[in-house]
Amino acid sequence: MIDVVNQMGKGDTLLLDGPIRSGQKISYPGNLVVMGDVNAGAELAAYGDILVFGSLRGMVHSGSAGKEDAVVIALSLLPTQLRIAGHITCPPEGYAEYAGRIPEIARIIGGKVVIAPFMTK
């Protein structure tokens, strides 16, 4: 159930303008773009990619219909849990010390969730 007031769907991408608060759960059968923070206790799920122009501190599940080439990108990637298709991971202990300083991308490489700095070409 989408529980956000400021939203705009366009094609297969849903743009959410503003923060996603603790307790809010958003699921969308396409891509999700959040223009704000995703707070701890919030949950995002999308069949496609998830992009967060802010801090991602909640639970996130991209490729929720089994799409293994889905990605999660955030300006500050600090999720409580990150899922891509059927792969689930949590940040390792001490990860918060290093994360959140640069935009990062999470994707499946070799059957594992890999998080790396997000660089444009």
In the predicted model, residues of the chain with pLDDT beneath 70 are: 1-11, 92, 94-100, 120-121
- Long-range contacts from 73-81, C-beta under 8 angstroms, 24+ separation: 73/49, 73/103, 73/104, 73/105, 73/106, 73/118, 74/38, 74/103, 74/104, 75/103, 76/100, 76/101, 76/103, 77/52, 77/103, 77/104, 77/106, 77/115, 80/40
pTM, two decimal places? 0.86
Q: Are 18 and 4 in contact (CB under 8 A)?
A: yes
Q: Quick one: pLDDT at residue 5? A: 39
63-82 tens-digit pLDDT: 999 999 999 999 999 999 99
| Residue 119, pLDDT score | 79
